[in-house]
Structure 1
Amino acid sequence: MSSENNGENKLQRREFLRKSVLASVALIAAGKYAGAQSLFLPARPNSKFHGVQIGVITYSYRNMPGDIKQILKYVVDSGISAIELMGDAVEDYAGKPADRKKVAEWRASVGMAKFEEVRKMFSKAGVKIYAFKPNALGKRNTDAEIDYAMKATKALGADAVTVELPSDPAQSERLGKFGEKHKLFVGYHAHTQATDTAWDIALSQSPYNTMNLDCGHYIASGNGNTAESLLALIKNKHDRITSLHVKDRKTKADGGQNMPWGEGDTPIKGILNLIRKNRYKFPATIELEYKIPDGSDAVQEVRKCLAYAEKALS
């Protein structure tokens, strides 16, 4: 080999080594930067345990300041990764007028861009919106408002609206038709009027009419309701339930009070493990209603409920 070729090979080897060292330094620096960045990013919440999705409803944070970004922070700080989102904060973010007389007109014409922004905001933080509960689904609301509620639900990425169970069957029939039109479920929420047959008319009117079963209200209602009948109702109607509300209440005979989880008569452990055992897909929604102890707040109490649920499922 000539001295000229030998010199050229040495130069090529030096250049290769130089580039390799630079590349290694760049990778190390990038890794350190990424690690440093991760220290400042909030952990994405995960409240799905053994296939059971634990969620929360906005109402749980009703005693705290409630714009949409604050609500998202409360949810993430609670460790929750799914939510039933109530309407006020979302609509305020989307520009709902302060004058109530103008709200129906606004709903009939507002675009969906702001609702899509909310979906992306929550999704980026690791929170899925599975249901939307706007105050736009009542008997006095116009058809245009109900159409708006359905469109907003889709823009938020949810597959169900929730609303109080109407006393007038004509209204549940009306809402069922809108559900069919938009291919969205309407989950009816009952309070202490809940019985095993309270939803039967609504369920018979449309396959899109479903149950948003509040387990605590059911237990506190009297009406012959028991822990055993509640579990049987969930099992028998599981294919018509879109979500549960979970709270611990005393029976009517014991006073019906809302209690910290584990101190009332709602069979929370039985409910959660029934969902787990049968692989039901509907979420169990924390609805915080017991009195918040002095020195605590809604975020801390929701975290306690979540810890109770995780332990119950472990």
Structure 2
Amino acid sequence: MQDNKNAGRRKFLRNTLTVAAGSSLITPSLFGVPSILKYYKKPNSKFNGVQIGVITYSFRSMEDQSAEATLKYVLDCGINAIELIGDPAEVFAGRPENTLDRSVFFGLMKKKRGGNITKDEAKELTEIQAEQAVYNQQVTEWRKNADMKKFKKFRKMYNDAGVDIYAFKPRNTFGKKNSDADIDWGMKTAKVLGASHVTVEHPGDDATTLRLGNFAKKHGIYIAYHGHEQQTPTFWDTALEQSKFNALNLDLGHFVAAGNTAPLDIIKNKHGYIKSMHLKDRQIPANGKGNLVWGSGDTPLAGALQLIRDKKYNFPGTVELEYEIPEGSNAVAEVQKCVSFCEKALK
């Protein structure tokens, strides 16, 4: 019964989005009714030539993680281009259900990275990771025969609402231990979704970046490596030398938190290799490396955006919401603030 209700809700959202996006009968006087009606006007988050997007991971705290709900969050933020985490698309296409609580997993991983995880929590994390490994194998088997028509349908739903997918980041696809079939699937699916590149955590392994670069060449799609506090000005150099299809998914906030000075120089020096850049406001090590509300940290976000604008660099800036959401707010409201920050910086 619950599945039928969920299916009905998804159908309603799909139909409403379609009607609202294409109707010429809706007027501004209707803005007082449910916000979904405003989608008759296509979103636009390209400001003075600089494309601002969002990684859908930013909405991970929202209760509904369906394809339709995720699209609504994006549209509510006025965003017309995204880096898509794999879950909404894969679930839409029929991926086996994951019963694990990812919020618990993310919380434990955050504690582990921060070095303040307890013994009991470490044990719980190990158990979750073991269960996740079993589930990952189920997903690998499902992907072998996944219907690409469903991913085309997903893309059409988003494109019809005015949202393009410039990057795709599926989970457990491009790692050292992933099979050739996993990698082929990830890159093939990215192209079906319309992405110019896939994003992946930098493996810290030259053999893996060489392998992934060869797959990227085979599929004619770029693979952009993301980094955290291990980023340095030369962090990507070996991968870039290995293949013209290896590229950067620079994270400017993490770059600052790593203690790198002159963070705008990495953009100037590597702009030809950057396919997309994550935006967040982190502090330098001396100030605690905090992940803060935009405008209160040490990351030169406005300067970076203005550099992209003035130099006419051709890659999007991707909002990644990672600071603590204030009480009484939610992820959509906070992403809206981030987009507003970008718009003001680019005027």
TM-score, normalised relative to structure 2:
0.78
Choose the corresponding residue for 2:213, options 146, 162, 176.
176
In the alignment, structure 1 residue 207 sits paired with structure 2 residue 240: no
Residue 273 in structure 1 maps to residue 319 in structure 2? no
The structure with the largest alpha-carbon Rg is: 1
Question: What does residue 25 of structure 2 align with?
Answer: 36
Question: How much has 1:78 moved relative to structure 2?
Answer: 0.8
| In structure 1, distance between residues paired with 2:24 and 2:188 | 41
Letter paired with 1:253 = A
| 2:144 counterpart of 1:108 | yes
Match of 1:76? 75
Instruction: Find the residue that maps to 2:147 and give its secondary structure.
Output: coil
Runs of 4+ more than 4 Å apart:
38-41
For 1:247 and 1:172, locate their aligned partners in 2 and report how far apart those are by CA, in whole Å. 26
- AA aligned to 2:25 is A
Consecutive unaligned residues in structure 1, runs of 5 or more: 1-33
- Cα distance, 1:41 vs structure 2: 5.0
Cα shift at 1:291: 0.7
Q: Choose the corresponding residue for 2:53, options 37, 52, 55.
A: 55
Q: Which amino acid aligns with 2:308?
A: I
From 298, 306, 309, the counterpart of 2:339: 306
Identity %: 54
Number of residue pairs the alignment of both structures matches: 277
Partner of 2:66: 67
How far is the alpha carbon of 1:44 from its aligned partner?
1.5
**How far does residue 101 in structure 1 lie from its aligned partner after superposition?**
2.9
Shift of 1:35: 5.1
RMSD: 1.2
User: Where does structure 2 lack aligned partners over 5 or more consecutive residues?
Assistant: 1-22, 31-36, 98-134
The one-letter code matched in structure 2 to 1:163 is: V
Q: Deviations over 1:139-166 (max 9, x none)?
A: 1111011111011001101110000001
Give the equivalent residue in structure 2 for 1:126: 162
1:111 CA displacement: 2.5
Distance in 2, matches of 1:75 and 1:149, equals: 23
Deviation string, structure 1 residues 60-99 (Cα, Å, up to 9, x no partner): 1110121111111000001111100001121111111244
Q: Matched residues in 2 for 1:69 and 1:234: separation?
A: 35
Within-5 A mapping of 1:1-314: 36-37=25-26, 40=37, 42=39, 43-64=41-62, 65-98=64-97, 99-135=135-171, 136-222=173-259, 225-226=260-261, 228=262, 230-314=263-347
Is the 1:56–1:80 contact (alpha carbons within 8 Å) kept by the matching residues of 2? yes
Amino acid corresponding to residue 274 of structure 1 in structure 2: L
TM-score, normalising length: structure 1: 0.86
